[in-house]
């Protein structure tokens, strides 16, 4: 069973039905017992970083997630805000500490006026996967749907799996051991996103 962590941030319906569509047995939950029983986890989320961390904390989810993901090494996919929350800290609406599972900072896109680039970065952009990963599978380059104003800057670039270009390259996908994360929304990225979700359902990190 795949548990989609419900911590009150964003559209959980889309991700759960996308997982179901590719054949995953999915449950949207914030119940620690159910999270313990799950075989893999998805940390989704759209919204503000500070609110996201506050919600994880107030629902008492951080200890169980640490246990299941860091100790028991269950596969995790962090999506959008769920990717950013894995980082050390964020500068969104003030400075907030993240889960700090992956050494990284969450930065706001800053462009010069002459770049004429909008923030937020909304829409379809191309991601190039520079590394093989069981979840990306045969996808080497494809368009994915993004909607965000902040991005993850890794301390260790070796974790980058996929890069997107928006006024310069940023990490659209990283992975370490049993943790996989994307800034884009697989559940909104039509066939390529669904293909990757299918891969995630079968992923067995060693």
| Catalytic entry in 80, 164, 173, 201 | 80
Applying CB under 8 A, the span of 69-77, 97-105, 144-152, 176-184 interacting with other proteins comes to 144-152
Applying CB under 8 A, the span of 4-12, 94-102, 130-138, 174-182 interacting with other proteins comes to 4-12
**Is 92 annotated as catalytic?**
no
**Is 206 annotated as catalytic?**
no
**Is 185 annotated as catalytic?**
yes
Q: Pick the binder of other proteins from 11, 58, 132, 156 (CB under 8 A).
A: 11
| DSSP states of the chain | -EEEE-SS-S-HHHHHHHHHHTT--EEEE--HHHHHH-SEEEE---S-HHHHHHHHHHTT-HHHHIIIIIIS---EEEETHHHHTTSSEE-TTS-EE---SS-EEEEE----GGG---SSEEEEEEEEE-S--TTTTT--EEEEEEEESEEEEESSGGGEEEEEESSSEEEEEEEETTEEEESSBGGGSHHHHHHHHHHHHH----
Contact between 93 and other proteins (CB under 8 A)? yes
Applying CB under 8 A, the span of 5-13, 32-40, 70-78, 152-160 interacting with other proteins comes to 5-13
| Catalytic entry in 96, 187, 195, 201 | 187
Number of residues counted as binding other proteins (CB under 8 A): 40
Contact between 169 and other proteins (CB under 8 A)? no
Quickly count: other Cβ atoms within 10 Å of residue 206's Cβ: 6
Q: Pick the binder of other proteins from 27, 46, 54, 139 (CB under 8 A).
A: 46
Q: What φ, ψ does residue 24 adopt, rounded to 5°? A: -80, 145
Quickly count: other Cβ atoms within 10 Å of residue 194's Cβ: 16
Contact between 128 and other proteins (CB under 8 A)? no
Contact between 96 and other proteins (CB under 8 A)? no
Binding region for other proteins (CB under 8 A): 10-14, 17-18, 21, 46-48, 51, 81, 93, 117-126, 143, 145-149, 165-166, 185, 187-191, 193-194
- Catalytic machinery residues: 80, 185, 187
């Amino acid at each position: 069973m795949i548990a989609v962590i419900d911590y009150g941030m964003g559209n959980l319906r889309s991700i759960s039905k996308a997982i179901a569509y590719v054949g995953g047995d999915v449950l949207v939950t914030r119940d620690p017992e159910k999270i313990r029983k799950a075989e893999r986890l998805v940390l989704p989320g759209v919204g503000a970083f500070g609110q996201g961390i506050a919600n994880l904390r107030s629902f008492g989810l951080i200890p169980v997630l640490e246990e299941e993901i860091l100790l028991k090494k269950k596969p995790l996919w962090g999506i959008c805000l769920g990717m950013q929350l894995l980082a050390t800290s964020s500068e969104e609406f003030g400075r907030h500490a993240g889960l700090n599972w992956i050494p990284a900072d969450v930065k706001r896109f800053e462009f010069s006026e002459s770049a004429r680039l909008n923030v937020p970065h909304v829409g379809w952009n191309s991601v190039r996967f520079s590394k093989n990963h069981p979840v990306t599978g045969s996808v080497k380059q494809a368009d994915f749907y993004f909607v965000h104003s902040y991005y993850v800057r890794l301390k260790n670039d070796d974790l980058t799996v996929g890069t997107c270009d928006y006024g310069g390259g940023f990490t659209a996908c990283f992975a370490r051991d049993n943790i996989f994360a994307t800034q884009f929304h697989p559940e909104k990225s039509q066939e390529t996103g669904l293909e990757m979700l299918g891969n995630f359902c079968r992923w067995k990190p060693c």
